[in-house]
Structure 1
């Protein structure tokens, strides 16, 4: 692989790579072998559905199934090796950057996929905005060590500004050509991919990106995993880079959605009883869409949450200021101390409900309806959140302040399986 970078660059350093892609002649359809990112797949139902959609679905690499972690990772590595040997997957002949387009649900999003030189948060080049769980990082690191591959890109955003040259112009020019691939996934989104291999075009993109910093929109655990693995290998090496999709949100704004919580062992009645003295609680006899609209109105005035699981929706807002003062950690910016996610974790989960933040007690679910259905089916409590604005996320990240994990969901997320980065090529 070409690991030549621009070590004097003080911004984003994106280099071309030989993308590994499915041979469309060897699989049923490209749509049938793709998957959402590993942490969005709702297991076990979603996992089984993806596995059964095509014997070569990418989920067999990103979420391998076996009895032990070691067996899972070995299975993923063997599967990747077999698919490459059989020609199911194949590297492109020359290195390139890839223009990626998603279109659907009223959204047009375009960005550039490449291998990005890894940097620490202190460098101010790539800004994380959420905390990570060490055991998840270790799990993903073990998988990446075994496969020696970046199986799915992180989603990074940068504000490109008003310039019509550089990366913006290169993206526009690429879309005038025939794409390498074009497919429509089950969610109705169409996906197209183009390779940029001309050295002058690549240099134009690199020169533009060298003046920008990026925000991690999706993939904090994968970024932390990349940093851990880079530290394990002598530099220079392919481990100095990670696979990313960079989107200019000045041109293609992402949607920011909330990630909801499902509390396995807390019935709604107990949850509400614990809040009665310190929050205003109102039961809403209405549809989910109407309840979410009420939540949106409430968060403009105070911290607010929507609890569900007993057949009704309960709007929880107007927390006692004295309680917040006692339970919210000091020494952080006011914007962080007033986040709904901060109040949820510090005041409700830690103080009032006394629920440990682990997978045995809390599930993090992206889909609102799925969260409510799970709570009603299993008897726990769904805590529905309202999304945070992107500018709040970016401002905190620039101050070096991370939000509670799983505070935001930026999208649309890139489909996994359209282009991989194998460190051997």
Structure 2
């Protein structure tokens, strides 16, 4: 394998964003742009999940990011064949010129987020340019890598954030100026979010953006497994080459703050009664007879003074808080900063899952990670399992730990809004 390019990349410093020829749906060939989009692959949580999105339009992007077949090999082959066919039929067409893309999301509640989509050089961890804040699950990285190999494409951008100085910058001014032009596409998805996309192909504009971004460090807000996949695939392929880069959306959170939400757990095969019984003498447990929004407010109040969780699945809610200090001392690793040791996710994984309930955190047969709160409760009640509802972590805690090189337990946070999948793809042969 030719690794000279990798050595050269290590010698450079700074985020390196590169224009690319976006692969996009031809709006004249699909029912509607909204009908062919999807949430990111790991956020398809509705009870009918993939089926709903497949039914929305025969060309929905979910047929590429979550192909359905009897084996992993068949799924990946199906996705590759589908992508080739859609390109040959003109369902997906490549933009004529390489560019960066300004992407805007907004809703009816005053939320506005804008960022830049481009192909980012895949840096090494020691460069500390792209900071992860969560661990990844090897089987998911292997699954995403196999799909990207088969399709030779980045099918959806991951979400990175950086911190500008909060005032007008060259990139911010350029984004605002671009957003005054008619967009390449505009659509409203069923969640009520409005999406608009513009291309930036002028060489001076591209240089201004890339020069400014080179002075920043990025935090992975969403897409740890895809970033780990980019790194694996870059190591497998000759360099320089298209695998040296991966598709990302970069958002300045000083200008456009993201929302941070929790990711909940669904424990398969563990009834709520058994989960509660195992907590006797280790945590305080109180029943909360309330609707979901009120129960979440109770959880938020409890987390202000310590670790707390809501268990659900038996038709009501149970607040679990005030863990036994001796239990925490025995189960939580002592070689990490206090901010990590006191995270709810740390206590959940190190204490509850590993020592109390004895549930392997990386086994899909035992545990699912779900972003939608109501869906987690619904699935637990339907399947007889236990939903563990979490309270979100503040962004500054996430960023401070990442800068210290400390990763949080996997699936600790959900930053949003996330980019819709299906608006722009990156085919590596373009």
TM more than 0.5:
yes
> Residues 274 and 299 of structure 1: is their aligned pair in 2 closer, same or farther, counting only changes over 3 Å?
same
Report the equivalent of 2:171.
167
Q: Is the Cα–Cα contact under 8 Å of residues 9 and 123 in structure 2 kept in the other structure?
A: no
1:367 corresponds to 2:367 = no
Deviation at 1:273, TM superposition (A): 1.2
CA distance in 2, matches of 1:289, 1:105: 21
The CA deviation string for residues 300-347 of structure 1, in whole angstroms up to 9 with x for no partner, is 101000011111111111111111000001211111111000000111
Report the equivalent of 1:390.
395
Which of 182, 204, 229 pairs up with 1:178?
Answer: 182
Report the equivalent of 1:94.
97
Cα RMSD (Å) of the superposition? 1.4
Deviation at 1:161, TM superposition (A): 1.1
Structure 2 counterpart SS, 1:113: strand
Structure 2 counterpart SS, 1:81: helix
CA distance in 2, matches of 1:62, 1:344: 30
CA distance in 1, matches of 2:47, 2:282: 37
CA distance in 2, matches of 1:251, 1:56: 35
Report the equivalent of 1:338.
342
Q: Which runs of 5 or more structure 2 residues have no equivalent in the other structure?
A: none
Report the equivalent of 1:10.
13
Q: Is the Cα–Cα contact under 8 Å of residues 283 and 324 in structure 2 kept in the other structure?
A: yes
Q: Is the Cα–Cα contact under 8 Å of residues 6 and 13 in structure 1 kept in the other structure?
A: no
The CA deviation string for residues 125-180 of structure 1, in whole angstroms up to 9 with x for no partner, is 00001111111111110110011000000000001113413211111111010100
Deviation at 1:356, TM superposition (A): 1.6
Instruction: Summarize the alignment of residues 73-222 of structure 1 with structure 2, pairs less than 5 Å apart.
Output: 73-106=76-109, 107-222=111-226
Give runs of ≥4 in structure 1 deviating > 6 Å.
5-8
**Which 10-residue stretch deviates more, 63-72 or 27-36?**
63-72
TM-score by length of 1: 0.97
TM-score by length of 2: 0.96
CA distance in 1, matches of 2:116, 2:124: 21
Q: Which runs of 5 or more structure 1 residues have no equivalent in the other structure?
A: none
Q: How many residues align structurally? A: 422
CA distance in 2, matches of 1:419, 1:355: 39
CA distance in 2, matches of 1:368, 1:278: 26
1:356 corresponds to 2:360 = yes
CA distance in 2, matches of 1:348, 1:223: 29
1:290 corresponds to 2:263 = no
Structure 2 counterpart SS, 1:402: coil
CA distance in 2, matches of 1:276, 1:69: 42
